[in-house]
Amino acid sequence: MPVAKPVMNPPFNIVRVSHVEFAVTDLEASRAFYVDCLGLHVTAESADRIYLRGIEERNHHSIVLVRAEKPVVRTMGFKVASEEDLDRAAFWFDEQGLRAEFVERPHQGRTLNAVDPLGMPIEFYFEMEQTSSMLQKYTHHRGARIQRIDHVNCFTPDVQVSHDFYTAVGFRVTEYTETEDPDPKLWAIWMHRKGNVHDLAFTNGRGPRLHHIGMWTATPLDILHICDVMATSGYLGNMERGPGRHGISNAFFLYVRDPDGHRVELFTSDYLTADPDMEPIRWTLRDPQRQTLWGHPAPRSWFEEGSFFEGTAVVEPVLEAQPIVAR
Amino acid sequence: MPVAKPVMNPPFNIVRVSHVEFAVTDLEASRAFYVDCLGLHVTAESADRIYLRGIEERNHHSIVLVRAEKPVVRTMGFKVASEEDLDRAAFWFDEQGLRAEFVERPHQGRTLNAVDPLGMPIEFYFEMEQTSSMLQKYTHHRGARIQRIDHVNCFTPDVQVSHDFYTAVGFRVTEYTETEDPDPKLWAIWMHRKGNVHDLAFTNGRGPRLHHIGMWTATPLDILHICDVMATSGYLGNMERGPGRHGISNAFFLYVRDPDGHRVELFTSDYLTADPDMEPIRWTLRDPQRQTLWGHPAPRSWFEEGSFFEGTAVVEPVLEAQPIVAR
Amino acid sequence: MPVAKPVMNPPFNIVRVSHVEFAVTDLEASRAFYVDCLGLHVTAESADRIYLRGIEERNHHSIVLVRAEKPVVRTMGFKVASEEDLDRAAFWFDEQGLRAEFVERPHQGRTLNAVDPLGMPIEFYFEMEQTSSMLQKYTHHRGARIQRIDHVNCFTPDVQVSHDFYTAVGFRVTEYTETEDPDPKLWAIWMHRKGNVHDLAFTNGRGPRLHHIGMWTATPLDILHICDVMATSGYLGNMERGPGRHGISNAFFLYVRDPDGHRVELFTSDYLTADPDMEPIRWTLRDPQRQTLWGHPAPRSWFEEGSFFEGTAVVEPVLEAQPIVAR
Amino acid sequence: MPVAKPVMNPPFNIVRVSHVEFAVTDLEASRAFYVDCLGLHVTAESADRIYLRGIEERNHHSIVLVRAEKPVVRTMGFKVASEEDLDRAAFWFDEQGLRAEFVERPHQGRTLNAVDPLGMPIEFYFEMEQTSSMLQKYTHHRGARIQRIDHVNCFTPDVQVSHDFYTAVGFRVTEYTETEDPDPKLWAIWMHRKGNVHDLAFTNGRGPRLHHIGMWTATPLDILHICDVMATSGYLGNMERGPGRHGISNAFFLYVRDPDGHRVELFTSDYLTADPDMEPIRWTLRDPQRQTLWGHPAPRSWFEEGSFFEGTAVVEPVLEAQPIVAR
């Protein structure tokens, strides 16, 4: 079976996905999208940077917007359980022959910047400036009432390689998709650290590229409301897919694109996965309910477009199998 | 039976309850409550008056706030079906020996100001300035996302008299409460013109006084949200009763008090009553699920306090029977 | 303007749309769909007939299923305000030279069976057997928790003719769609009697045929739930369109097809239209948000397929203009 | 400060609270309550035992009902991360001088039965029989659509002792209540392992006794629905408190009592607590919004009544401070 047993004592302890840094070409347009429309909260901002967080997040930021020439993803950040875990991580990357170096990041403690075997930029930290939760400041809930970052989802040219690497550092597979070959190959995986369906997912495709970040909302009605808001405030063209229900993860979802095309999933309704012996759920690639329980195929853009990681070359995927795409 | 058959061809055609004018002692405080907290929309305002409406209302106003020395209710307005209905109404009030005179009201066409047999001030008009619906301007939905005025509920010293009068002008009873006497008396009635449970309700008590106006929201989650908002923005003391479910009308409700004590019900989940042969639902006074399906008794203030109508003397009720009151 | 002023004193008083009779080819399959899946309540049933109603309906039936060779619509029923209105209706149809005759219908009082100028079969009655409301029998709420019939929507070969006829009998236009010609033509209309967006709607197309019946639910979550239920219980192929938000009527909707292809809309979130001077809302045919506020085009089947009325010939529509259709 | 830093490398790895075994005096009545009313799923049952689980649970049981003479709690079960953790746990309890022994439990692997320092019976296991998730079997969702067990909440005679013990085995405090003494004492604590507000909570009171088990639902509307169901199906008297919003944990809640008086909380809307450096939230005992954000005090029964643990003596609490109680 291509899905490995979880590694219960990984070389270092990753708590969860924590933040993403998006380079954007028009910071004002991005601010309007993320703050005025989606309703994220601004923790800090300067002429060139905006730090955003969801309603329940006490961490300083889960999305960082940085003014730049090209719309790329600079990094995906993961929180580890202690300062010692950072040192263990540095040691482990070094052992693997993978680049990893400590860098300075505003509002974060020591931060280890690294690349995975396919060149995807990731960073680890333990400490981040804390700020106040907006959870019980209900007068400030706006837009989709986004509560927190939930996951990142990436195209990888080799799902098996990504699976093997992230399994080794402790991510556990909750659901996966195989090709329908006699000798099935991994086509997509959903992996977690924090105890729900995913912190990190990979899909076969030209990559590495970021497919989307997932932001969690408390109820499906928050997602229906943001559909209404976007459709009537100039953001109709930014609604790419949904609302709908994924078969995988049971998520109720909406996919939207920011002004630079970075994709954000608004997402709710998955389930607890804390049990280490929970058996991963297997889906086959052409099961139409895999993508959308209710049967709507995703548009082509959803399968093909993604954000580049800064400075990271993209290669063709190893698998040619194709999912069901809307005409 | 104390509940009469509906009068299908009344002397003039009332469409629905339309608006209420509240005299308030601190207009800024009232604006903060109705606009900033509850989320009503301002159609127009001056130094001494604010005209408010809900999301779906195209009529210029459903609540008018007027700066005054004393917090009273100036009038309750009903829309009639045509200009001719105003003349018919004037004729009919005259026939009954009840005062009714045409007055000027800003933003309204000809308006007939009248009193009912118990001295309650009411007014009728056909035309009101029209404004744009906010229903599909979703970015402007705030607070409880109140959609429209639904009803007014009054204390009357004699429910039977109120019943007889409003039946004569076409209101139809949907639900009612009787005392548990061998010869039961009407203790409360719910009457409508527009096809849901009520435009107008009466409860036995010192009166006439306004018990509350009911404002309609689309879902119970809008009401839960305003509970959270009020509880965390200095309005905890303004939450008087609920949220809960009435047995009568099946309404999901929350009762709040404005800064002057005028009571507003946020309300949803009743039902269609368009059929003229729909049998009224009978409740007995001490059925605990009449008030609250879930069993919570209402606080004493809810049974005893109400807003005075300007210039209208209040008398003791004819019935002494008492509902169940929370200790 | 092609939309006429409402007729406030029509020749007879129609209260609302009341019921539809569907001929179905496999009564057991239809029962499974309407009762076990959608959750409608059975008031009565025999070997060849099933009478259904929603949670809040006290009328004996709003959908009648009848075993038959061919899946057609037998009649669409409207409740009038009194027995006298039936006689007035009979007189009026006679005056217009339109067929109308009193027929026997089980569980209904005197029933006037008629055809409109385009041959569409309609019937009128005042009295129907009353049964108990399930509204507060919450343990029996199932499926989509459908509360009541809301409207019927038909293809007509000539929207203007349908508009003129139903305006004459008192239906009032709330929203309409025009072609984008220099001399715009009516392409679709939404008309009501009961005080919300519609009891009856017409769209240009081969007809007369029934496009769908609309059944009202209390919240969008009831509609999301029935999507989940249908998608996981063998009814995925019966989900034709949605869930989504119509621009027209603001309805949150799902369109499903019964085992014979009769179309049912699950529907919520429209607005009160009781005011006789409410200005109809105008849409243009190719406004993409007219059909779906969120931008999803409807499938071709939705524009082309409908149920035939028994014994009624269908003709091509007078207008050739086409809406936006999903590829 | 009375709240200790979390122990990041505890002597053994507890994953989460997993199940509770309730001795009940009328198994049929309990089945009606938990299955027919609340909608839990039966995994297995015999003449004397019923094993229940929520919609998303693949573990064989989260509530076990056992026919008995007296309504007590037999045990509270926790899942550990591996078989080795069981041995580590056995060793550690032995070191502490606390009783712990391996016992047989149907449908579970090796199970370590133990008592905590105050005599509270707890058990640990790694393996449980797996069954199918009902999460996407939407036709089988009923009642409150309970998804899973979330937490257990106990009276303890000494919150500080309970805090110290469970901190030592890795539970982390998310929120706590102190008395208003100059030298404040811990009055209540909420502690977790799985990454949300709690797996285990303690309140000062005669104990050890179980205050309640918390069962998680996806949305507040599921909780409003079960209020309607209970209130109209003979369970009105079983509704003890709520629905409402706790200040602590932000939970939207309803407390109900089973036929023997065991208390169950239906619960949703808390937040992610995976970060090990998340600062616990401090509340003071007489802050009225601590218990209920919306201001309703809890009834006296809620503060005084609880379920006894089988064979466990109860002692008076060390603190005399009292919360706000409804008259």
Q: Where are the beta strands (DSSP E) in D104-230?
A: 111-115, 121-125, 148-156, 172-178, 186-192, 200-204, 209-216
Q: Is B297 near chain D, with CB under 8 Å?
A: no
**Residues β-bridged to residue A17:** A78
CA nearest B193: which of B46, B13, B4, B3?
A: B13
Query: Looking at the complex, does the CB of residue D231 fall below 8 Å from at least one CB of chain B?
Result: yes
What would the pLDDT profile of B63-85 be if each residue is shown by its tens digit? 999 999 999 999 999 999 999 99
Q: What is the pLDDT of residue A251?
A: 96
CB C132 within 8 A of CB C244: no
> How would you write the pLDDT of chain C (327 residues) with one tens digit per residue?
578 899 999 999 999 999 999 999 999 999 999 999 999 999 999 999 999 999 999 999 999 999 999 999 999 999 999 999 999 999 999 999 999 999 999 999 999 999 999 999 999 999 999 999 999 999 999 999 999 999 999 999 999 999 999 999 999 999 999 998 899 999 999 999 999 999 999 999 999 999 999 999 999 999 999 999 999 999 999 999 999 999 999 999 999 999 999 999 999 999 999 999 999 999 998 887 777 899 888 899 999 999 999 999 999 999 987 777 765
Taking CA atoms, what residue in A is nearest to C219?
Answer: A221
Is B138 within 8 Å of A228 when comparing Cβ atoms? Answer: yes
Assign D295 a pLDDT band (cuts: 50, 70, 90): confident
* ∠ Cα C86 C88 C92 (to 5°): 115
Residue B292 has pLDDT above 90, yes or no: no
* Least Cα separation, residue A294 to chain D (angstroms): 12
> Residue A139 and residue B93: Cα distance in Å, rounded?
47
- Write the CB contacts of D149 (distance below 8 Å, at least 6 apart in sequence): D17, D18, D19, D20, D54, D57, D62, D63, D213, D214, D215, D216
- In chain C, the residue whose alpha carbon lies closest to the alpha carbon of B221 is C219
pLDDT at D326: 66
C28 sits in which H/E element: helix C27-31
Contact between chains at D224 and B228 (C-beta distance less than 8 A): no
A interface test, pick of C217, C223, C224 with most A CB neighbours within 10 Å: C224
The residue type found at B199 is: D
pLDDT number for residue B155:
97
pLDDT at position A312, please? Answer: 96
Asked casually if ipTM beats, i.e. exceeds, 0.90, the reply is yes
CA B167 and chain centroid, separation: 17
Q: How confident is the model at residue A327 (pLDDT cuts 50, 70, 90)?
A: low
Give, as one character, the DSSP assignment of residue C6.
Answer: P
Tens-digit pLDDT profile for residues C270-322: 999 999 999 999 999 888 777 789 988 889 999 999 999 999 999 999 998 77
Cα-trace Rg, chain A: 19
Is the predicted pLDDT of residue A1 greater than 60, yes or no?
A: no
**With 0-12 CB in 10 A as exposed, 13-18 as middle and 19+ as buried, what is D181?**
exposed
Q: Does B29 touch chain A (CB under 8 A)?
A: no
pLDDT of residue D265: 98
Question: Residue D40: its pLDDT value, please?
Answer: 98
Kindly report, residue by residue over A101-146, the tens digit of the pLDDT.
999 999 999 999 999 999 999 999 999 999 999 999 999 999 999 9
pLDDT score recorded for residue B2: 72
Q: In what order do the strands lie in the sheet with D73-80?
A: D41-45, D49-53, D63-67, D14-24, D73-80, D121-125, D111-115, D100-103
User: For residue C294, what is the nearest residue in chain A, using CA coordinates?
Assistant: A231
DSSP-derived pairing of the beta strands A200-204 and A148-156: parallel
Minimal C-alpha gap between A244 and chain B (Å)? 20
Shortest distance, CA B277 to any CA of chain C (angstroms): 8
Residue D327 has pLDDT above 60, yes or no: no
The answer to whether the Cβ–Cβ distance between D228 and C137 falls below 8 Å is: no
For chain D, give the mean pLDDT.
96
Q: Among residues 95-154 of chain C, which lie with CB inside 8 Å of chain D?
A: 136-139, 141
Q: Is the pLDDT of residue D149 over 70?
A: yes
Which of the other chains make 3 or more beta carbon contacts under 8 angstroms with chain C?
Answer: A, B, D
CB C314 within 8 A of CB C207: yes
pLDDT for residue D1 is more than 70: no
Cα–Cα distance measured from residue B176 to residue B187, given in angstroms and rounded to the nearest whole number? 8
pLDDT of res. B321: 72
Residue A151, min C-alpha distance to chain C (Å)? 24
Burial of residue A229 (number of CB atoms within 10 Å: 0-12, 13-18, 19+): buried
Cα(C44)–Cα(C42) distance, rounded to whole angstroms?
Answer: 6
In chain D, the percentage of residues whose pLDDT exceeds 70 is 99
Interval B91-113: pLDDT, tens: 999 999 999 999 999 999 999 99
pLDDT, position C326: 65
Helix (H) or strand (E) holding D76: strand D73-80
**Chain D nearest CA to C182, separation (Å):** 49
d(CA D40, CA D142): 8
Mean pLDDT of B273-302: 90
Whole-prediction pTM value?
0.97
Percent of all residues in chain C with a pLDDT value above 70, rounded to a whole number:
99
Q: In the predicted model, what is the mean pLDDT of residues A203-223? A: 97
Contact C152, C76 (CB under 8 A): yes
Q: Please tell me the predicted confidence (pLDDT) of residue A21.
A: 98
Chain B residues with CB inside 8 Å of A225's CB? 138, 141
Interface test with A, best of C229, C294, C300, C327 (most A CBs within 10 A): C294
C81 and B CB contact within 8 Å: yes
Question: Does residue B241 sit at the C interface (CB-CB below 8 Å)?
Answer: no
Q: Which residues of B touch C56 (CB under 8 A)?
A: 271-272
* Interface residue of C37, C134, C138 to substitute, partner D, most D CBs within 10 Å: C138
Where does the pLDDT of residue B323 fall: very low under 50, low under 70, confident under 90, or very high at 90 and above? Answer: confident
Burial C139-160 (b: 16+ CB within 10 A, else e): bebbbbbbbbbbbbbbbbbbbb
D325 has pLDDT over 80: no
For the stretch B264-276, pLDDT in tens is 999 999 999 999 9
Shortest CA distance to A145 belongs to which of A210, A53, A73? A53
Position D57 confidence tier, pLDDT thresholds 50, 70, 90: very high
CA angle B87, B91, B97 (to 5 degrees): 145
Q: Which residues of A touch C293 (CB under 8 A)?
A: 227-228, 231-232
What is the overall mean pLDDT for chain A? 96
pLDDT at B1 over 60: no
Q: Which residue of B has its CA nearest to A218?
A: B221
Question: Which of B250, B294, B301, B302 best tests the D interface by mutation, with the highest count of D CBs <10 A?
Answer: B294
Instruction: Work out the minimum CA distance from A91 to partner chain D, whole angstroms.
Output: 20
| pLDDT category of residue D144 using cuts at 50, 70 and 90 | very high
Give pLDDT tens digits for D30-47.
999 999 999 999 999 999
pLDDT digits (tens, 9 = 90+) for C223-240: 999 999 999 999 999 999
Give residue A326's pLDDT band: very low, low, confident or very high (50, 70, 90): low
Query: B200-204 and B148-156: which strand pairing?
Result: parallel
Nearest to D111 by CA among D99, D121, D101: D101
How many C-beta atoms surround the C-beta of residue B6 within 10 A?
17
Enumerate the β-bridge partners of residue C255. C241, C265
Cβ of residue A325 closer than 8 Å to a chain B Cβ: no
Give residue B44's pLDDT band: very low, low, confident or very high (50, 70, 90). Answer: very high
Q: What is the rounded distance in angstroms from the CA atom of residue D87 to the CA atom of residue D103?
A: 13
Q: Which of A216, A268, A277, A293 to mutate to test the interface with D (most CBs of D within 10 A)?
A: A277
Confidence band (pLDDT; 50, 70, 90) for B295?
A: confident
pLDDT of residue B195: 98
Q: What percent of chain A has pLDDT over 90?
A: 92
Residue B326, pLDDT > 70, answer no
Q: What is the pLDDT of residue A199?
A: 98
Please indicate whether, in this complex, the C-beta atoms of B231 and D295 are within 8 angstroms of each other: yes
Cβ atoms of residues D14 and D67 within 8 Å? no
A297 and A285 Cβ atoms separated by less than 8 Å: no
Q: What is the pLDDT of residue D299?
A: 92
